[in-house]
Structures are given as C-alpha cells and as structure tokens.
Amino acid sequence: MSGARGRPFLGIAPWGVFFAVFGLFPLAYAFVLSFLSLNPLRPDLVRWVGFANYERALASPSFWHALRTTAFFVVGTLPVTLTLAYGVAALLSRIRRGETFFRAAIFFPATLSMVVIALVFKSLYAEEGLLNGWLAAVGLPRVHWLQDPSLALPSIMLMDVWASVGYYAILILAARKTLPREQLEAARLEGLSPLTVERRIVLPHVRPVLLFVVLLNTIRSFQIFIEVFVLTRGGPLESTLTLVYHLYERAFYHFEMGYASALAYLLLILVGLVLLAQRRLIGRGAEAAP
Amino acid sequence: MGAKGDSGVGSARRGPGPAVAAALLLALVLAAGGCGKGESGRRTVVFWQFSPLAAIEPILARFEVENPDLDVQVEQLTWQSGREKIVAAIAAGRPPDLCELGSTFLPGLVADSTLRDLTDQVADLRSALVGWDVSSYRGRAYAIPWMLGTRALYVNDDLMRRAGLDPSKPPATWDELLRAARAITEKGHGAKGFGMSAGEREILFKKFMPFAWGNGGSILDSTLMRAAMESEANLEALRFYLSLKPYSLLERQEMHEEAFTKGRLGIIISGPWLLRKLPESAPELPFTVALMPRPAPGRGTPASFAGAEVLGVFRNSKRPEEALRLARFLTRPENTMPLFVATGNAFPAATASAADSYFVTHPKDRVFLEQLRYAVGPPLHPRWVQIEEIVNAELEEAIYGRKSAEAALASADARINAALAPAP
Amino acid sequence: MSRAASRVARAGRAPYGAYAALSAIALVSLAPLVYMARVSFGVGGDLPIAPGDWFGRALTLDHYRDLWSGGPMARFALNSLVVTGIAVPIQILISAAAGHALARTRFVGKGVFLAIATAFLILPRQVTLIPLYLLLAWLGLLDTYPALILPHLADPFGVLFMAHYYQTMSPELEEAARTDGFAPSAIFWRIVLPLSGPGLAVVGVNGFLTTWNAFLHPLVLTTSESMRTLPVGLALFAQSEFRVDWGALLAGSTVATLPVLLAFAFFQRQIVEGILQGSGR
C-alpha cells in the first residue's frame, strides 16, 4: 500500500533465488523447447522448427478435442467446488464445539495423494464395484461410471470435487477467521440477518482469498492428469482426454518433447487468459496485486 | 515504543536476518550430507529393472561373486512411471548400462536407434533363448529376450457346471466359447460369461488380435510396409469377437480378474499372475486353465498374445561390454527361473527352463508354456506406436458400436497406410 | 427483555442445522477412509463389495506386517520426514517474506513477476520434469536430499497465497513500527509473522501435503533405494505389472496418511493459538 521502493527485494530474495534456479530455468527451457523438434531419446538430433509445433497443434483435431474436454471439466467443477467450499466454510464458522473434529474430517480428502484417491475410486466406480453393488442392493440398474463414454468424465469430475472441496473450505475458513469478531457482533446486534451479514461483511473481507481459491482451482482443473492416467487413460473413446494427458502421451509415448512443450505453452496462454478474466470479474474491489 | 539508539531496544529493531540466513545455510548443508555413497574400486554396471529388489538381489549377488571386477547398481522401476524415468535419463545422457524393457516399449526405442544392435555379440545365445522375434527388427537383434509372457483362458468350473456344460472340456473353438459365454450368462444368476476389455484402449489390440492371428490374419503384410487389416480372416475374427459382447462384462483387466475371483465371471483371458492370486484370494474357486480357442476344429491355431521382458543396452551406455556380461548371466535358466517363481508374471526365455521340475508340480503353469508355442507378438516396427494407436482406436469404435466391423477394419487400413507413407 | 438483548440470547442457541449438515459432509469425506481401512485389513486384498463382504470375512494384519518386512519402509518414512521436515519450514518462511514484500510494496515489473510466478504453477510438471532432471544432473545433485528438497522451495503457491493474505491484513501496525525506527526485517519477524498464524498454517499444510505426497519428481530424480520417499516406496511395494495389490497399497496409504492427519491436527491448535495471540483480545 505504501510505495516503498528497493526494500521488497530483501524479502523476496530468498525465495527468488530458489525460484530463479528451479522455477525460471525449467520454464525458459520448456519455452525454448517448444520451438524445437526434440526426441528425448536422441537429444543429438534436435533441430529448430520455429512455430511449426504451434501451427501443428492449432490444426490438430486431437488438440481441440482435448481442449474441449478440459474446458468442460473446468466449467463443470469450478462453480460447484467453489460454492460447496464456501458453504462448508460458512457452516464450520458457525459451530464452536467439535470444530476440530469436523475440520479434520472435512480436510481429510486433501491429505490423500491423488494417486490413492484415484485408485480407491477406481474400485468404487468399477462395473462390479462398490457403488454398483449398492445400486443393485436397492434394485437399481448398474451404472457404467467409467465405461460409458458420456459418464466417464462426469464421474471423474465428481471424484475431483470430493477431493478438493475440503481443502478450499479450510482456506476460506482461515480467511474468515481474520475478520475481527467485533464486526460480526456489531452486525448481529444491529439485527442484520445472517445472509446479509454474509453478503455485506464476510464476503468482501474474504474476497481476496476467494479469488485466490478460484484461481487455484482453475489452474488445478486445467492440469488434471493423474485421475485420467489411473482411471481411464483418456478413454473410453477419448471422452476423458484432457490437455495434459494428451501432452503426456505425445511426450513419453511418441517422444515428441518439442511438440509437448508447445502444447504446454498453449495451455499456459489459455489458462493465463482465463485467470485474467476471472480476476477482472471477481477481483473488482479486492486489492489484487497489480 | 520509545527512543531509538538505545542498544537494548535497537537490537529488537534489528532484524533476525543474519541468524536466519545462517540457520538456512546450515540446514541445507546438513541435508546435502545425507547422500554419500561408498566407492569400492570395482567397475559399476547400472541395471534398471522391474522386479522387487528382494527377488533380484540374490541373483545379482551371485553375479558379483562370479565377476569380482564388477559391481551391480540395481534400481527398481515402477510399471506406472518407469517410462518417464528411462526417457528422462536418456535425455540427460545418463542412461543405465543395462535396462529391462517391456516389449511394448521396445518399438519406439528401436526406431530411433537408441538401443545397440547386439546381433553379432549374441549369436551364441540364439538357440538357448526363445523370443528373438519380439526383440528383433529386420533380422537384427536389439535386445535379449529374458522373460516371456502370454495369456490363456481361465474358466470357472462351477459356472460351467451350472450352465449345463462339462468343466473338464473348456471351450476349444470359437463356437464353443460363444456357446459357453451365452449359457453362463443365461443360467449364471447374474454372473457374466466372458470378460471383454473396455476402458483400457491401449490393450485392446492385445485382446482382439490373438483371435485374428489364430485365424491367419495380421496387422501388417509380410513386407511390413502395408496394412493388412482389411482381410477376410480379420473380419471373421472381429465379427466373432463382437458377437461375444452381449454375454460379456465390459471392464478393465484387473476388474475382470476381481470378478472372476469372486465367481461372477465365467471365462477370462489372463496371464500367469492370476495363478498366484487365486489360491490366496479364492482358495475354494474351482477353475481350469486352457489354451486359447481355435477358430474351428482343425482350422487355425490357438494363438495368444506374446509379451516379453527383454534386456537392452543403450547407445550411450558407459559399460556396454559389462552390461552384456550381466545380460548373459541373467538369461541363464537357473537365474531366470527364481524370478519367475517369485513374481509369477512371465516365463524364462531360456529353452532349457521348459524342462524344469517346477512345471511338473505346477500343471496350470505348464498350460502357459504350451500356449507360448502359439503366441504371437506385434511386429517390431519403427512406426509401431502410431499403428498401435490406430488399431486400438478403431477397435474401440467397433466395440462401442460406433462403427461396424467392416468400417472399423477399413478405416484402420487406410489410416495405417497413411501413417506408413514415407515421411516428407 | 429489550429487543437487542433477546436477539443476543437467540444468537447463543446451538446451530443444529449446521451440525447436521456438517455431519453429513464429514461422513462423505471420511467414507473412503473407512473403505481403505477395511480393505487394508482384509485377507488377500479383496475388495469388499456386497454388504456381506464387509463383515463376514476374516480380518488380518498381514498387509501391515508385510509393509514392515517388505522393504525398508522405515528408511522411506525417514526420507519423507527429513525432506518434508526441512523443506516445509523453509518454505513457510521464504513464502511469508516474499509474499509480504509483494503485498506491501509496488515496484516496476511487479505484474510481470507475478505472471511468471503464476505461469510456473500453470505449466504442467511433465514438461518441467526433464529440464529439472538435467539441471540437477549438471549440479551433481541427483539422488540426494537437496534434489528432493530444492524444487519444492521454488513453489510459488505459498508466495502468492501470503501476498493475498497480507492484503487482508491492515498495515497500520507495521507503519507505526517503521516510524518508530524498526528495521524492515525486524518488523517482519516480530510484528508481521506472529500475526500471520492462519496464513502460515495454510502454507505449511499445503507445503506439507505437496512435499509428502510428491511422486513423479522424487521417482525420477532419485535412483537408489536408500533415497526413496514413502509414496515411491509404496508404489514399488504394491505394484506388479498387471494388478494392484489392494491390501498392500491401502495399508501403505493408510500408514502414509496418518502422519499427515496428525500434522494437520497439530497445526489446528497452532491456528487457534495464533489467532488468540494475534488478535490480542
């Protein structure tokens, strides 16, 4: 807020050094790589191809298909996850006793590695798995959670929402806790309804963190890979072929590292644009950095 | 807070910066210390492979005794991510000296001359080992076969009986398979007859092609330059395969095995690993292992899919000679057999192993040995990765009913030929 | 009673609705844990499907026993502890420092800087894997603790989060301290940090989870068994080419998750204390 100059570099320096080496370097390397044709198995045969990789991607039906699939995933999970997370945080802030237990329980899914979650859900979603077993027990027909091309992606989306709501709820809760209690007391004494309190006092206060959660979830949703890798490998009939999975296949199965890097940077540009748009929409009023 | 300048208060105002920096530095230095490795003066051979260390280490210990000038540094790879690891290592110019590779990973490596041509150095091993066709391209051997895997028919005896069939006569022809699958589905109280692969596109061709191969069909023609998907033999096979669908459980391989273990699936195609699992998980389940079915009595062969674990030496391996010595040691029957017994996944490629007493006491394993004789592997073609992708995609369309068998095969043919066209 | 007083009295009633909803949510969140536990205690690693499977079958400790004898699990756990124990505190500190600096000051190129930091979060790891490998190989750090620790320290998540967090924190105290002549680092260390409790806890928990559960990078950047971390060790232990050993894997996952849950439970107390301390009310 104050315009102090020169001093921030002291604070940023420690992290900055690590980032420069282990963050910036891979970023730059991948960027250069996107203009090359590189087979990782034959690094000696690398050659410069300029924008050819990018042109190829933009003309590739697989790329657009992957893009559509990923976009569907993001649009389908983001609002749901956000709303649920906000609601859960609101609920958690209303109780006092047992808060520790509920917090831990709700946070639990976030402590599992995505590989484990995907494996557990693999057996839940199996044709002869737990969910279908329950359906059968109540006389309902079996659902082809992962085998039906139109259900596979929604099934993964459901799993993802389950896995991430708790984490974001805790983030939002942390932000809610920085709100001085007096403000809430005063509002209550004034006779404002809980919903109004929520809208007029809490929401503006947690807005920066809320925006952060949206940005984070967006980034994460565009990046989903492990879920697809473990559960469906992009199928059935490519219905779950996300951008990162497509990228992975090109890099490690077809050994096209340059093309994969171009795909990664296209993803980067796309997500960057989405994030900017989100910040403009939601960030209004929040002291978002520049 | 008060006046500046007073040293007591001033020290509170000074930051902890230096102290923190020193602590960080110390922590990092200490951390870096946790990594020293001893030197032994021997030459080191770096070997990457997939078996559990407990199984492979005794074998390597014996190698080191026999070769006192060598030290083996072994690393276990994961099936899930071994590929990334190998690729990263090669890209960084630090490949292992000897590496176990799955036959499905092999084509991409051969295409780019990443593996050394071993043909001349292993001429003497030709007769001692089986499976050279899986690791050779145009007559040149790029890896040494180590273990061979294949799949056979597992049949649930109970479900057969309940379906009115004789469990001592597992289906030996396509007709019998279809009939058995139908009967089991109709009379099995919710159990399904056959396990058909779905949701795992990358293995579809491994599940279907054996039927085509058994009928005389193939993916590429004998010159390996053109597709041969659109053939009568293939069409017949695909039509048959699709006819199994109404009586099948469409699921992934491991779920098939899970269902079979629970007695809810009558017939599946699986490998020897299931023989280790069943006694543990379902000791009471009566089952039979049989060869894959032929197209018709006296016609075709009971073909199955052949997979292999091979040993390859990379182009820029630092110790290629030593790596070969290790490979020769590992492929000896007495060294491969214990690995097979420990992991139960694939059989020794050593021809002498077939006579091992293990197969006398384990008759079900013997069926797999027999099956190996009719096992076919995909051609080691430089463009195999693309070909495989095309075949799998078209098969998937047919299985999900998006395309007819004819259309799928025709499309596969066209796409493969396009992929095989000489690159500009 | 006056209207205001009766409203206060009503506000003190227990929020039954909230408890009911939260209980349902907690159940859904924990259900897979129950599932994991049941499978890990099951014989042969069977997956319990039908209701009868859940209770009818025998239970066993075999998988947990095998975990212990199946490999140097203790060593893997130690490695994970060392890596996480070193990386996370450092991460918290440098993230808070950098985040604070970003939140409080303007400088030329700040936008670009933030964009690049965010870009690193967006770029898929598969693409940064090989450059990282090359870099560490060149530095001679492959297969060492630094290889496992250093990449995590570059994670911009903590920095970006703390920047947002400090924006919601009023800078009055800091400005007062500056006029009083406190050095910037002293302000940070003695005034800002103690007030950052909840934010630091979030960064810490996130860092802990990311570091503890990291799989692909530790897998590729280390080669010797003595350097493996827990997730990697578990994957090797439970895998075979064609099937997942459910019992083994879930037993291992349960064991790997417990420290995380414990750490989180521990952090929770810190959060509460941090708040009470920081608000000084």
In chain C, what percentage of residues exceed pLDDT 70?
Answer: 79
Mean pLDDT of B278-297: 91
Query: Each residue of B158-170: pLDDT tens digit?
Result: 999 999 999 999 9
B328-332, B356-360, B387-391: which range is least confident on average?
B356-360
- Ordered DSSP codes for B359-409: HHH-HHHHHHHHHHTTEE-----TTHHHHHHHHHHHHHHHHTTSS-HHHHH
* pLDDT at C53 (0 to 100): 64
Q: CATH topology for C62-279?
A: MetI-like fold (1.10.3720)
Mean pLDDT of C17-32: 89
Query: Each residue of C184-215: pLDDT tens digit?
Result: 777 888 888 888 877 888 788 888 888 988 88
How far is A149 from chain C, CA to nearest CA, in Å? 24
Residue with structure tokens 């947690």?
Answer: A206
Mean pLDDT of A39-64: 92
Q: Are residues B279 and B195 in the same domain?
A: yes
Query: Would you call B400 and A254 a contact, using CB atoms and an 8 Å cutoff?
Result: no
Mean pLDDT of B38-56: 82
Measured between beta carbons, which residues in chain A are less than 8 angstroms from residue B24? 14
pTM of the model: 0.85
Query: B34 lies in a domain?
Result: no
Q: Is the peptide bond before C218 cis (omega within 30 degrees of 0)?
A: no
Instruction: Give residue A116's domain range.
Output: 53-282
CB A130 within 8 A of CB C47: yes
Instruction: Identify the closest residue of chain C to A6 by CA–CA distance.
Output: C107
Q: Are residues B125 and B182 in the same domain?
A: no
Where residue A195 falls among pLDDT bands split at 50, 70, 90?
A: confident
* pLDDT at C109 (0 to 100): 81
Nearest to C219 by CA among C236, C209, C232, C234: C232
CATH number, domain with residue A92: 1.10.3720.10
Residue B151 pLDDT greater than 90, yes or no:
yes
The domain tally of chain B equals 2
Mean pLDDT of B297-303: 92
* pLDDT at C172 (0 to 100): 85
Residue A18 pLDDT greater than 50, yes or no:
yes
Of the two residues A121 and B10, the one the predictor is more confident about is: A121
Query: B8 lies in a domain?
Result: no
* pLDDT at B418 (0 to 100): 93
Mean pLDDT of C22-42: 85
Query: A117 lies in a domain?
Result: yes
A254-268, B141-155, C136-150: which range is least confident on average?
C136-150
Instruction: Give residue B105's domain range.
Output: 43-150+306-376
Query: Would you call B251 and A232 a contact, using CB atoms and an 8 Å cutoff?
Result: no
CB A174 within 8 A of CB C164: no
Residue A2 pLDDT greater than 60, yes or no:
no
Of the two residues A200 and A143, the one the predictor is more confident about is: A143
Mean pLDDT of all residues belonging to chain C: 78
Residue A96 pLDDT greater than 90, yes or no:
no
Where residue C224 falls among pLDDT bands split at 50, 70, 90?
A: confident
Buried b (16+ CB within 10 A) or exposed e, C207-229: bbbbbbbbbbbbbbbbbebebbb
CB B161 within 8 A of CB B167: yes
Distance CA A239, CA A152 (A): 7
Mean pLDDT of all residues belonging to chain B: 86
Distant-in-sequence, close-in-space partners of B38: CB < 8 Å, separation ≥ 6: none
The amino acid at A147: Q
Query: A97 lies in a domain?
Result: yes
Of the two residues A203 and A67, the one the predictor is more confident about is: A67
Residue C77 pLDDT greater than 90, yes or no:
no
Mean pLDDT of C238-246: 61
Interface of A with C in 89-108 (CB under 8 A): 91-92, 94-95, 98, 100-108
Do β-strands B152-156 and B287-290 pair in parallel, antiparallel, or remain unpaired? Answer: antiparallel
CA distances from C27 to A102, B355, C21, C33 (A): 10, 57, 10, 10
Cα angle, residue A226 at apex, residues A225 and A230 outer, rounded to 5° = 125
Residue C51 pLDDT greater than 60, yes or no:
no
Q: How many CB atoms lie within 10 A of CB B119?
A: 14
The domain tally of chain A equals 1
Question: Which of A39, A147, A257 is closest, CB to CB, to B199?
Answer: A147
Query: A104 lies in a domain?
Result: yes
CB B237 within 8 A of CB B212: yes
Of the two residues A32 and B381, the one the predictor is more confident about is: A32
* pLDDT at B22 (0 to 100): 59
* pLDDT at C241 (0 to 100): 54
CATH number, domain with residue B254: 3.40.190.10
Where residue A52 falls among pLDDT bands split at 50, 70, 90?
A: very high
Question: Which of C141, C183, C220 is closest, CB to CB, to B85?
Answer: C220
Query: Which residues on neighbouring strands pair with residue B72, listed in sequence order?
Result: B45
Distant-in-sequence, close-in-space partners of B221: CB < 8 Å, separation ≥ 6: B227, B228
Question: Which of C131, C188, C215 is closest, CB to CB, to A25?
Answer: C131
Mean pLDDT of C91-115: 87
Where residue B266 falls among pLDDT bands split at 50, 70, 90?
A: very high
Measured between beta carbons, which residues in chain A are less than 8 angstroms from residue B258? 126, 128
What tokens appear for B31 in the block?
């951390």
CB burial of residue C34 (10 Å; 0-12, 13-18, 19+): exposed
Query: A277 lies in a domain?
Result: yes
How far is B392 from chain A, CA to nearest CA, in Å? 10
DSSP A97: T
Q: For the packed helices A257-282 and A25-33, what is the interaxial angle rounded to 10 degrees?
A: 120
How far is A244 from chain C, CA to nearest CA, in Å? 7
Q: Are residues B298 and B397 in the same domain?
A: yes
CA distances from A156 to A74, A112, A117, B138, C16 (A): 12, 16, 11, 44, 33
* pLDDT at B53 (0 to 100): 85
Distance CA B213, CA B229 (A): 11
How far is C82 from chain A, CA to nearest CA, in Å? 18
Query: Which other chains touch chain B, taking contact as 3+ CB pairs less than 8 Å apart?
Result: A, C
Residue B265 pLDDT greater than 90, yes or no:
yes
Most confident of A74-83, B70-79, C41-50: A74-83
- What are the residue ranges spanned by the domains of chain C? 1-28, 62-279
Where residue C78 falls among pLDDT bands split at 50, 70, 90?
A: confident
Mean pLDDT of A16-21: 92
Q: Are residues B261 and B324 in the same domain?
A: no
Query: Would you call C106 and A247 a contact, using CB atoms and an 8 Å cutoff?
Result: no
Where residue B92 falls among pLDDT bands split at 50, 70, 90?
A: confident
* pLDDT at B1 (0 to 100): 34
* pLDDT at A253 (0 to 100): 87
Query: A146 lies in a domain?
Result: yes
Question: Which of B80, B91, B200 is closest, CB to CB, to A40?
Answer: B91
Question: Which of B1, B85, B253 is closest, CB to CB, to C180?
Answer: B1
A76-85, A128-137, A198-207, C247-256: which range is least confident on average?
C247-256
Q: Are residues B165 and B99 in the same domain?
A: no
DSSP A278: H
Mean pLDDT of all residues belonging to chain A: 86
Distance CA C156, CA B77 (A): 30
On whether any CB of chain C is under 8 Å from the CB of B91, the answer is yes
Query: Each residue of B60-74: pLDDT tens digit?
Result: 999 999 999 999 999
Q: Length of chain B, please?
A: 424
Residue B281 pLDDT greater than 90, yes or no:
no
Distance CA C221, CA B94 (A): 12
Interface of A with B in 33-52 (CB under 8 A): 39-43
Measured between beta carbons, which residues in chain B are less than 8 angstroms from residue A126? 251-252, 255, 258
